[in-house]
């Protein structure tokens, strides 16, 4: 979901409303449900830009092995910081600055955390240069645990219709 749209939804649902509200629509099934759940929290605008950045900073050999282009590691590292900032700003623009409640701060950071978790789970990503010195299994394990937690928290704190 778009952070801007999520912020707008929270802003509109925070305002008093009368009349019927639309029913929630069921989501589709996915082979990797955790990655799909995390991706649903990450702004689609950020996922699209991440893929553009990966295309510019990596190469894929005929066997499908993705490697970071020489000299592109710094750009890839910087892109993660930039994408996290964009994620925060999108929510702020959508939510607005008035009538904030304590849960809105949590709602602000969840998409940014989800972005980092998602990059850890998808393989080579903007996170890769940051975690090269860590064992891959440990990175994935932490990402899975954090992913489950933020997915559960998101479900709990998302305003109901």
Ramachandran angles phi, psi of 26, nearest 5°: -70, 145
Question: Would 115 be classed as within a structural domain?
Answer: yes
Query: Cα dihedral angle (76, 79, 80, 86), rounded to 10 degrees?
Result: -170
pTM for the full predicted model: 0.76
Domain that holds residue 145: 3-9+32-60+67-157
Question: Would 25 be classed as within a structural domain?
Answer: no
> Is it the case that residue 121 has pLDDT exceeding 70?
yes
Task: Please report the pLDDT score of residue 20 as a whole number.
Answer: 35
Mean of the pLDDT values across residues 128-141?
Answer: 93
Question: Would 84 be classed as within a structural domain?
Answer: yes
- Per-residue pLDDT of 61-94, as tens digits, reads 999 888 999 999 999 999 999 999 999 999 899 8
Closest CA to 153 of 93, 121, 97, 111: 111
- The number of folded domains in the chain is 1
Question: Would 15 be classed as within a structural domain?
Answer: no
Question: Would 22 be classed as within a structural domain?
Answer: no
Question: Would 37 be classed as within a structural domain?
Answer: yes
Bridge-based pairing of strands 58-60 and 66-68 is antiparallel
Q: Which residue has better confidence, 37 or 150?
A: 150
Question: Would 101 be classed as within a structural domain?
Answer: yes
Question: Would 16 be classed as within a structural domain?
Answer: no
């Amino acid at each position: 979901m778009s952070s801007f749209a999520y912020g707008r939804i929270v802003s509109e649902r925070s305002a008093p409303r009368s009349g019927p509200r639309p029913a929630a629509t069921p989501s589709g099934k996915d082979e990797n449900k955790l990655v799909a759940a995390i991706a649903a929290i990450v702004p689609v605008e950020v996922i699209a830009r991440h893929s553009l950045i990966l295309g510019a900073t990596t190469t894929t050999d005929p066997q499908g092995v993705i490697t970071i282009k020489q000299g592109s590691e710094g750009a890839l590292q910087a892109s993660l910081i930039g994408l996290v900032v964009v994620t925060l700003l999108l929510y702020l623009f959508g939510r607005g600055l008035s009538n904030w409640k304590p849960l809105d701060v949590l709602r602000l950071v969840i998409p940014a955390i989800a972005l980092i978790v998602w990059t850890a789970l998808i393989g080579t990503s903007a996170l890769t240069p940051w975690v090269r010195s860590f064992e891959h299994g440990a990175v994935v394990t932490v990402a899975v645990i954090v992913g489950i937690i933020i997915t559960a928290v998101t479900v709990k704190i998302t305003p109901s219709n």
